[in-house]
A and B are shown apart, each in its own frame.
Chain A
Amino acid sequence: MAKQHVSFNLNGKHVDALVEPRELLVHTIRETLSLTGTHIGCESSHCGACTVDLDGKSVKSCTVLAVQADGAELKTVEGLADADGLHAVQQAFIEEHGLQCGFCTPGMLIRAYRFLQENPNPTEEEIRWGMSGNLCRCTGYQNIVKAVQTAAQTLQQA
C-alpha cells in the first residue's frame, strides 16, 4: 500500500513519518517512532491503555488513524516529565501507590493530565466519571482516585 507522509508535533518535537493509510496511530507511535510507553490492551476503544493527548483532548490512539494526526499536537507519557522532573500526576501516582503492573499507567497518567486541566478541582465522583474510559485490573482504582486528588492539590498550589 502506498505510504502517506504525515508530520506532527510529538512531545514538543517535530516528527515526520511515512505511514500506511490504514495504520493506527498507536502503531505509528510504538513501532515507527519507538515510543513504547503507550500500550495496547484491546485495540477496540475499551481499555484506554493507548490513551494519548491529541490537540488538547484525550484520545484512544488505537482508534485514530495516523493520517488523522497530521498536523496535530501530540503528547504521550514520555512527554509528561520536563527538565524540572516528574509531572505532578506522575509524582502523585508514586506517592499514592496508584499503580501495580504499570500497564494501564501511561494511559491513566495522560488522561489524568488532561482531566485536571478540564476540571482542576474535581470531586471524587467527578474523577471517577472523568477517568472512566481507562481500565485497570490491578489497583481497584481507589488509589488512582487518591493520586488524582493529590495531583490536583499540587497543581493548584503551583
Chain B
Amino acid sequence: MDNAAEVQEREDSIKGVGCSRKRKEDARFVQGTGRYTDDLKLPGMLFADMVRSPYAHARIKSINKEKALALPGVHAVLTADDLKPLNLHWMPTLAGDVQAVLADEKVHFQYQEVAVVIADDRYIAADAIELVEVEYEELDVLVDPHRSMDDDAPILREDLVGKMDGAHSKRVHDNHIFNWQAGEKEATDRVFEQAEITVKQEMYYPRVHPCPMETCGCVASFDKINEHLTVHLTSQAPHVVRTVVSMLSGIPESKIRIVSPDIGGGFGNKVGIYPGYVVSIVASIVLGVPVKWVEDRMENISTTAFARDYHMTGELAADSEGRIKALRVNVLADHGAFDACADPSKFPAGLMHICTGSYDIPVAHLNVDGVYTNKAPGGVAYRCSFRVTEAVYVIERTIDVLAQKLGIDKAEIRRRNFVKAEQFPYQTCLGWELDSGDYHTALEKVLDAVDYEALRKEQQEKRAQGELMGIGLCTFTEIVGAGPSRNCDILGVGMFDSAEIRVHPTGSVMARMGTITQGQGHQTTYAQIIATELGISSDEISIEEGDTDTAPYGLGTYGSRSTPVGGAATAVAARKIRAKAQKIAAHLLEVSENDLEWEVDRFKVKGVPGQEKTMKEVAWAAYNNVPEGMEPGLEAVDYYDPPNFTYPFGIYLCVVDIDKATGETSVRRFYALDDCGTRINPMIIEGQIHGGLTEGFAVAMGQEMPFDEQGNLLGNTLMDYFVPTFVETPHWETDYTVTPSPHHPLGAKGVAESPHVGSIPCFTSAVVDAFAHLDVTHMNMPHSAYRVWQKVHELGLDQHA
C-alpha cells in the first residue's frame, strides 16, 4: 500500500468530521432500552396530577379539597394558598414577568393549573382531581389581541395594575407587555414617502405548538437526610433549570442535581420551566418521597408553551426595477396571560430583527408590541431560533408581493436584491453581521435542478386550462447559535456553551458537554469532532450530556446552538489537548515541538520518516512520562463564548397542485438546498432536514390553535391538532452547498431548524402562486383543504362552465 492510501485508511478508520457515521444512540433505542423521564420508577414514588380551570378568565371563589383528600391513596392536595408561605405560588419567567405556579385567586387561561393532587398512582390521582371542588365566578374574556389595549378591555393582570415600567419598556396599557423597536424609524418612513413603489401585506402567523412525541414531565426526589434534591426532567436546558430551582428554593446549586435523560423530541417545547416541575419539587420536599408528574397530550398542547402567534404587517419600498430601498415591519404579538417567552433576556421579540433576510436593504424599521390575552403563556422557538421563523416569513412573503406587483419573476427579484458573495461579512441595517454566504450560486443550482423555466411554462399551460398549479420559492437566511454573551444571556447567564474532554491512559476518551441531545445525535457527532481533532476513532469516544452533576455548565440545546456553540467548545477543548500532546510527543521524540507535524492520528518529525508518536502513545505517556514541569494527565475544558451567531441559508422550491373541487393541496415536489457550512455528519444532517421540512409542512398546511370567544381552545388533541402521518408527508429532495463560517473553529453552522424556518414561507408562496394570476397576494396559514377551498369558492373557480 502506498503512503497516501495508508494515510487515507487511517483517516477513514477514525470516522471523523464529514463521515456519515451510523448513530451511537440507536442500539438502545431500537431495543427499547432508552431511558426517558416517564420510564423512571423510584421506591415510594407518588404521582402528581393537575386540577385545571375550565374557564379562560374567572375568579376562584373557593376550593374544597375534602372529598379528594378522603379518597384512599391520596396524600396531598396543594393550592396557591399552600405555596404562599414558601413564596412559590408565583415564579419568575424567562422574559422578566411572573407566572402563577398555581392560580392565585384568579385563573387567566383555560386549563390553567389550579391545584395539584399527589396520589399513589396515576389512576387514583386522576380520580382525585375530579373530587376537588372549585367554585368560579366567570369574568369577561379577552381573546383578540387587537382588543387588548382598548379602553374597555378587561384587565387581565391585576398583579400588574399601575406598574407601568415593564421588563423591556414602558407599558401603555394594563394589558400591554412591551414595545420593542429596531432600526431607524424616521429614515425608513422618509424612504417610503419618496419611493417609486411600495407594497404592504398583512399576515397572521397562527399560534402553534411544537408537540414532541414525548410530553413534558419530571421526577423530583428530595433526600431529607442529606438535603439533596434530584430532579429528572424533560429539559432542553438542565443547567439553567438547576440555577432557577436554586434561586426559587434557596437550596444551594451544589445540592441540586438536574438530569435530562433521553428526551423524546423537544422542538422548543422543553425549554421552559413549568408549574408541573415546581409543584413536583415542592411536593417531594414536603412529603419526603419522590414525585412524578407527566402531562398528557391535551395538557401538553394546551399549556406547556405555544409558539408564534404574531400578527404582522410587512412593507417594502422599492424602485421600479424591484430593488428594495426600505423595509418596515409591524408586529402585534399575542403572548397569552403571562409573558413566558423563552428569548435571550435583552430581546423580547427574539431575533426578529433578522427580518431583512438575505437581502441588501439600506434601511429598515421593526416595531413590536406584546400584549396579554386569556391564553396560555409561552412563545417558544418551535424548531427555530427565537422568532426567526416569523422574521423569515414576513420578509419572504412581502418580497413575493413586491415581485407580483411589479410583474417580476420571484426568482429574479431575489437575484436583484441578494447580498452578494463578495459583500460578506455583511452588516445588516438592523445590526447583524452575516458571516458568510453565496446566495446567487445556490439559487441557480436549485433553479437548474428543477428546470424552473419548464415549470413556469407548464404553469402557463395549466392556467390556460383552468388548473391550479403553484410554484413556491423561499431564499432564507437564519441566525442561529445564541450567542455572544455581549448581547445574549438568560437570567443574566451568558449564552456560552462548554465541553470537557478527558483522554484516558489507553487512549479512549470521555467527553461531556453543556448541551443536551433530543434526537440530534450528539453522541455521534461530537465524537466525530473530537476524532478529527485528536486522531482517535470516534468509536472509542464516549459522549455524555444532561447530568448537571457531571457535565460542565452550559445553556442547553435549542435555537440550533449545539453545533455553533457546543461544537465549537468541543473543537477548542480538543485543540487544547492536542497542543499539550504535541509537547509530550516532542519530549518523547527528543525534538522541539516545532519539528513536529500532525498527520491524522500522530505527530511526525518533519523530514524523518518513521520518527513518530501516535496520539495513543502520547496518551499513555501523559500519565507516566511528561516533560519536566508539566502536570500529568490529558484533559481540557472549554467554555466557548461565540464571537458571532452563524447564518446558515437555503434555497427551497416547492411545486403544488390544487384540487379545485376539494381545495386539497398536493405537494408534487419539494427541493431543499441547505448551506450549513462544514458538514459534520451528512447522514444526520439529511435526517434533520427531513424532520424540519415535515414540521414546516405541518405548520403551513394544518397546525393552528384556534380559540372561541370564551377562550376555549378548539383543538388540543391529536385528533384536531395536525401532526402529519406517513401518508400526507411529501417526499423530500435535498441538496447542499458549502460556505464555511469564517469564525467557527470548524466552519460549521447550525442546520436542523433551517428546514422548518425556510419551508413554511415556501409552502405559502406555492399555494398563493397557484392563485397569483387572479391577483391573490397572500393567504393566511394553515393552508388546509377547507381554507384553500374557501378561496377557490370565493373566486368562483369551483363553478362549472
Q: A residues near B, CB below 8 A?
A: 20, 22-23, 27, 30-31, 34-44, 46-47, 49, 76-78, 80-81, 86, 90, 93-95, 97, 99-106, 109, 127-129, 131-145
Q: Could you tell me the distance between the alpha carbons of A138 and B345 in the complex, rounded to whole angstroms?
A: 29
Contact of B717 among A46, A109, A137, A139 (CB under 8 A): A46
Q: Could you tell me the distance between the alpha carbons of A145 and B726 in the complex, rounded to whole angstroms?
A: 9
Write out the residue numbers on chain A whose beta carbons fall within 8 Å of the beta carbon of B27.
Answer: 94
Write out the residue numbers on chain B whose beta carbons fall within 8 Å of the beta carbon of A100.
Answer: 265, 519-521, 687-688, 691
Could you tell me if A101 and B264 are in contact, using CB atoms closer than 8 angstroms?
yes
Could you tell me if A104 and B213 are in contact, using CB atoms closer than 8 angstroms?
yes
Could you tell me if B717 and A44 are in contact, using CB atoms closer than 8 angstroms?
yes
Q: Could you tell me the distance between the alpha carbons of A83 and B675 in the complex, rounded to whole angstroms?
A: 44
B86 interfacial by beta-carbon distance below 8 Å: no
| Nearest Cβ on chain A to B38's Cβ, whole angstroms | 7
Could you tell me if B690 and A137 are in contact, using CB atoms closer than 8 angstroms?
no
B141 interfacial by beta-carbon distance below 8 Å: no
Contact of B31 among A23, A31, A46, A78 (CB under 8 A): A78
Closest 10 CB pairs of A and B: A37-B32, A103-B264, A102-B29, A101-B519, A140-B690, A100-B519, A140-B694, A46-B718, A77-B32, A36-B39
Instruction: Identify the closest chain A residue to B729 (Cβ).
Output: A141
B5 interfacial by beta-carbon distance below 8 Å: no
B36 interfacial by beta-carbon distance below 8 Å: yes
B194 interfacial by beta-carbon distance below 8 Å: no
Write out the residue numbers on chain B whose beta carbons fall within 8 Å of the beta carbon of A132.
Answer: 725-727
B202 interfacial by beta-carbon distance below 8 Å: no
Write out the residue numbers on chain B whose beta carbons fall within 8 Å of the beta carbon of A27.
Answer: 122
B41 interfacial by beta-carbon distance below 8 Å: yes
Write out the residue numbers on chain B whose beta carbons fall within 8 Å of the beta carbon of A41.
Answer: 213-215, 264, 297
Q: Given A94-B22, A95-B22, A129-B726, is A34 in contact with B41 using a C-beta cutoff of 8 Å? A: yes
Contact of A39 among B23, B25, B214, B297 (CB under 8 A): B214
| Nearest Cβ on chain A to B37's Cβ, whole angstroms | 11
Could you tell me if A37 and B723 are in contact, using CB atoms closer than 8 angstroms?
no
Instruction: Identify the closest chain B residue to A144 (Cβ).
Output: B726
Instruction: Identify the closest chain A residue to B695 (Cβ).
Output: A137
B553 interfacial by beta-carbon distance below 8 Å: no
Instruction: Convert B575-595 into 0s and 1s, putting 1 for each residue whose CB lies closer than 8 angstroms to a CB of A.
Output: 000000000000000000000
Could you tell me if A103 and B265 are in contact, using CB atoms closer than 8 angstroms?
yes
Instruction: Convert B663-692 into 0s and 1s, putting 1 for each residue whose CB lies closer than 8 angstroms to a CB of A.
Output: 000000000000000000001101110111
B371-415: which residues lie under 8 A (CB-CB) from chain A? none
Contact of B214 among A35, A44, A99, A103 (CB under 8 A): A103
Instruction: Convert B201-222 into 0s and 1s, putting 1 for each residue whose CB lies closer than 8 angstroms to a CB of A.
Output: 0000000000111110000000
Could you tell me if A102 and B726 are in contact, using CB atoms closer than 8 angstroms?
no
Q: Could you tell me the distance between the alpha carbons of A129 and B108 in the complex, rounded to whole angstroms?
A: 42
Write out the residue numbers on chain A whose beta carbons fall within 8 Å of the beta carbon of B432.
Answer: none
Contact of A37 among B33, B122, B692, B717 (CB under 8 A): B33
Q: Could you tell me the distance between the alpha carbons of A125 and B29 in the complex, rounded to whole angstroms?
A: 26
B627 interfacial by beta-carbon distance below 8 Å: no
Write out the residue numbers on chain B whose beta carbons fall within 8 Å of the beta carbon of A144.
Answer: 726
5 contacts between A and B (CB under 8 A): A27-B122, A37-B32, A99-B30, A102-B519, A142-B732
Could you tell me if A131 and B726 are in contact, using CB atoms closer than 8 angstroms?
yes
Instruction: Convert B5-45 into 0s and 1s, putting 1 for each residue whose CB lies closer than 8 angstroms to a CB of A.
Output: 00000000000000000110111111111111011010000
Secondary structure class of chain A's binding surface, majority of residues = loop
Contact of B693 among A109, A129, A140 (CB under 8 A): A140
| Nearest Cβ on chain B to A100's Cβ, whole angstroms | 3
Could you tell me if B213 and A49 are in contact, using CB atoms closer than 8 angstroms?
yes
Could you tell me if B31 and A43 are in contact, using CB atoms closer than 8 angstroms?
no
Given A100-B520, A102-B519, 9 other A-B contacts at CB below 8 A? A94-B27, A97-B683, A101-B262, A102-B30, A131-B726, A140-B690, A140-B732, A141-B725, A144-B726
Write out the residue numbers on chain A whose beta carbons fall within 8 Å of the beta carbon of B213.
Answer: 39, 41, 47, 49, 101, 103-104, 135-138
| Nearest Cβ on chain B to A37's Cβ, whole angstroms | 2
Q: Could you tell me the distance between the alpha carbons of A145 and B263 in the complex, rounded to whole angstroms?
A: 23
B424 interfacial by beta-carbon distance below 8 Å: no
Contact of B264 among A34, A86, A102 (CB under 8 A): A102
Q: Given A44-B717, A46-B717, A100-B521, is A137 in contact with B212 using a C-beta cutoff of 8 Å? A: yes
B329-372: which residues lie under 8 A (CB-CB) from chain A? none
Instruction: Identify the closest chain A residue to B694 (Cβ).
Output: A140
Could you tell me if B263 and A101 are in contact, using CB atoms closer than 8 angstroms?
yes
Q: Could you tell me the distance between the alpha carbons of A36 and B292 in the complex, rounded to whole angstroms?
A: 15
Write out the residue numbers on chain A whose beta carbons fall within 8 Å of the beta carbon of B32.
Answer: 35-38, 76-78, 106
Q: Could you tell me the distance between the alpha carbons of A47 and B211 in the complex, rounded to whole angstroms?
A: 11
- Which of B121, B686, B725 has the most chain A CB within a 10 Å cutoff? B725
Write out the residue numbers on chain A whose beta carbons fall within 8 Å of the beta carbon of B694.
Answer: 139-141
Write out the residue numbers on chain B whose beta carbons fall within 8 Å of the beta carbon of A35.
Answer: 32
Q: Could you tell me the distance between the alpha carbons of A79 and B22 in the complex, rounded to whole angstroms?
A: 23
Instruction: Convert B269-301 into 0s and 1s, putting 1 for each residue whose CB lies closer than 8 angstroms to a CB of A.
Output: 000000000000000000000000000110000
| Nearest Cβ on chain A to B373's Cβ, whole angstroms | 27
Write out the residue numbers on chain A whose beta carbons fall within 8 Å of the beta carbon of B687.
Answer: 97, 100, 138-139, 143
B562 interfacial by beta-carbon distance below 8 Å: no
Could you tell me if A43 and B297 are in contact, using CB atoms closer than 8 angstroms?
yes
Write out the residue numbers on chain B whose beta carbons fall within 8 Å of the beta carbon of A128.
Answer: 726-727
B731 interfacial by beta-carbon distance below 8 Å: yes
Could you tell me if B297 and A44 are in contact, using CB atoms closer than 8 angstroms?
yes
Contact of A94 among B30, B717, B731 (CB under 8 A): B30
| Nearest Cβ on chain B to A81's Cβ, whole angstroms | 6
Could you tell me if A39 and B691 are in contact, using CB atoms closer than 8 angstroms?
no
B774-791: which residues lie under 8 A (CB-CB) from chain A? none
| Nearest Cβ on chain B to A49's Cβ, whole angstroms | 6
Instruction: Identify the closest chain A residue to B27 (Cβ).
Output: A94
Could you tell me if B39 and A77 are in contact, using CB atoms closer than 8 angstroms?
no
Q: Could you tell me the distance between the alpha carbons of A102 and B518 in the complex, rounded to whole angstroms?
A: 9
Instruction: Identify the closest chain A residue to B755 (Cβ).
Output: A140
Write out the residue numbers on chain A whose beta carbons fall within 8 Å of the beta carbon of B267.
Answer: 137
Q: Given A46-B719, A102-B519, A103-B214, is A97 in contact with B34 using a C-beta cutoff of 8 Å? A: no
Q: Could you tell me the distance between the alpha carbons of A77 and B33 in the complex, rounded to whole angstroms?
A: 9
Write out the residue numbers on chain A whose beta carbons fall within 8 Å of the beta carbon of B729.
Answer: 140-142
Write out the residue numbers on chain B whose beta carbons fall within 8 Å of the beta carbon of A131.
Answer: 726
| Nearest Cβ on chain B to A121's Cβ, whole angstroms | 18
Q: Given A137-B691, A140-B732, is A99 in contact with B719 using a C-beta cutoff of 8 Å? A: no
Could you tell me if B718 and A99 are in contact, using CB atoms closer than 8 angstroms?
no
Instruction: Identify the closest chain A residue to B267 (Cβ).
Output: A137
Instruction: Identify the closest chain B residue to A100 (Cβ).
Output: B519
Instruction: Convert B509-552 into 0s and 1s, putting 1 for each residue whose CB lies closer than 8 angstroms to a CB of A.
Output: 00000000011110000000000000000000000000000000
Q: Could you tell me the distance between the alpha carbons of A81 and B686 in the complex, rounded to whole angstroms?
A: 28
Could you tell me if A101 and B212 are in contact, using CB atoms closer than 8 angstroms?
yes
B623 interfacial by beta-carbon distance below 8 Å: no
Could you tell me if B212 and A135 are in contact, using CB atoms closer than 8 angstroms?
no
| Nearest Cβ on chain B to A19's Cβ, whole angstroms | 11
Write out the residue numbers on chain A whose beta carbons fall within 8 Å of the beta carbon of B723.
Answer: 46-47, 135, 137
Could you tell me if A37 and B31 are in contact, using CB atoms closer than 8 angstroms?
yes
Q: Given A44-B297, A138-B519, A139-B687, is A102 in contact with B693 using a C-beta cutoff of 8 Å? A: no
Write out the residue numbers on chain A whose beta carbons fall within 8 Å of the beta carbon of B262.
Answer: 101-102
Q: Could you tell me the distance between the alpha carbons of A133 and B520 in the complex, rounded to whole angstroms?
A: 24
Instruction: Identify the closest chain A residue to B34 (Cβ).
Output: A102
Write out the residue numbers on chain A whose beta carbons fall within 8 Å of the beta carbon of B684.
Answer: 97
| Nearest Cβ on chain A to B526's Cβ, whole angstroms | 16
Q: Could you tell me the distance between the alpha carbons of A46 and B297 in the complex, rounded to whole angstroms?
A: 10
Could you tell me if A142 and B731 are in contact, using CB atoms closer than 8 angstroms?
yes
Q: Could you tell me the distance between the alpha carbons of A26 and B156 in the complex, rounded to whole angstroms?
A: 41
| Nearest Cβ on chain B to A155's Cβ, whole angstroms | 16
Q: Could you tell me the distance between the alpha carbons of A37 and B797 in the complex, rounded to whole angstroms?
A: 51
| Nearest Cβ on chain B to A139's Cβ, whole angstroms | 6
Write out the residue numbers on chain B whose beta carbons fall within 8 Å of the beta carbon of A20.
Answer: 123
Q: Could you tell me the distance between the alpha carbons of A13 and B778 in the complex, rounded to whole angstroms?
A: 60
Q: Given A37-B32, A46-B718, A94-B22, is A135 in contact with B732 using a C-beta cutoff of 8 Å? A: no
| Nearest Cβ on chain A to B576's Cβ, whole angstroms | 31
Write out the residue numbers on chain B whose beta carbons fall within 8 Å of the beta carbon of A76.
Answer: 32
Write out the residue numbers on chain B whose beta carbons fall within 8 Å of the beta carbon of A42.
Answer: 296-297, 717-718
